[in-house]
Structure 1
Amino acid sequence: MSQDPAAALAANNPADAALELAALLSLSRPMPLRPRDAELLEGADEFRFGPDDSRIAWAVGHGPPVLFVHGWGGRGTQMAGLARAVAADGYRSVFFDAGGHGDSRSEPIGFDTFIRDTSDLTTALGEDVHAWVGHSAGGLGMMAARRLLGLEAGRYVCISAPRFPYVPLETLKSSTGVADEVLDQVKPILATQFQTTWEGLEAGEAYVPDPGRPLLLAYDMDDERVRHADADAIADAWPGAEVLKTRTYGHNRILQAPEVWTGVRTFLREAV
Structure 2
Amino acid sequence: MIESEQTTSVSQVFEQFLTPPRKSPSAKEQKLIEQAEIFSIPSKIADLTAYSWGEGATVLIVHGWGGRGTQFGSFVKPLVDSGYRVLAFDAPAHGKTVGKQTNGFELAEAIATIAAKESPIDTIIAHSLGATSTALALSKEVFARKVVCLASLCWLSSSVKRFAKLAKLSQQAEDELYRLMENKFGKDVWDIVSVDKRVANLSIPALLFHDRADRDCSLRESEAISQAWQNSQLIVTEGLGHNRILRDEQVVQQTVNFIKEQNI
TM-score norm. by structure 1 comes to 0.86
Equivalent-residue separation in structure 2 for 1:167 and 1:57 (angstroms): 30
Q: 1:197 aligns with which of 165, 185, 189?
A: 189
Match of 2:108 in 1: 115
Question: In the alignment, does 2:258 pair up with 1:267?
Answer: yes
- Where structure 2 has 5 or more consecutive residues not aligned to the other structure, the ranges are none
Instruction: Indicate how the Cα distance of structure 1 residues 186 and 84 shifts in structure 2: closer, same or farther if over 3 A, else same.
Output: farther
Match of 2:214 in 1: 223
Equivalent-residue separation in structure 2 for 1:75 and 1:140 (angstroms): 16
Match of 1:207 in 2: 199
Equivalent-residue separation in structure 1 for 2:189 and 2:198 (angstroms): 11
Moved more, 195-204 or 97-106: 195-204
Moved more, 66-75 or 47-56: 47-56
Match of 1:248 in 2: 239
Report the alpha carbon displacement of residue 208 of structure 1 after superposing the two structures with TM.
2.8
Q: After superposition, where does 1:12-91 map in structure 2 within 5 Å?
A: 18-51=10-43, 54-91=47-84
Report the alpha carbon displacement of residue 234 of structure 1 after superposing the two structures with TM.
1.3
Supply the RMSD in Å over aligned alpha carbons: 2.5
Equivalent-residue separation in structure 2 for 1:145 and 1:118 (angstroms): 7
Moved more, 42-51 or 216-225: 42-51
Match of 1:103 in 2: 96
Match of 1:4 in 2: none
Amino acid paired to 1:214: P
Q: 1:154 aligns with which of 145, 149, 154?
A: 145
Report the alpha carbon displacement of residue 245 of structure 1 after superposing the two structures with TM.
1.3
Match of 2:175 in 1: 184
Equivalent-residue separation in structure 1 for 2:202 and 2:85 (angstroms): 23
Answer yes or no: is the 8 Å Cα contact 2:139–2:202 preserved in 1.
no
Equivalent-residue separation in structure 2 for 1:194 and 1:216 (angstroms): 31
Question: In the alignment, does 2:123 pair up with 1:131?
Answer: yes
Amino acid paired to 2:69: G
Answer yes or no: is the 8 Å Cα contact 2:125–2:149 preserved in 1.
yes
Amino acid paired to 2:242: H
SS class of match (2:33): coil
Equivalent-residue separation in structure 2 for 1:190 and 1:139 (angstroms): 20
Amino acid paired to 2:146: R
Cα deviations by residue, 1:1-41 (Å, 9 ceiling, x for unpaired): xxxxxx8xx32687665543221112242111221210112
Equivalent-residue separation in structure 2 for 1:269 and 1:15 (angstroms): 52
Answer yes or no: is the 8 Å Cα contact 1:165–1:190 preserved in 2.
no
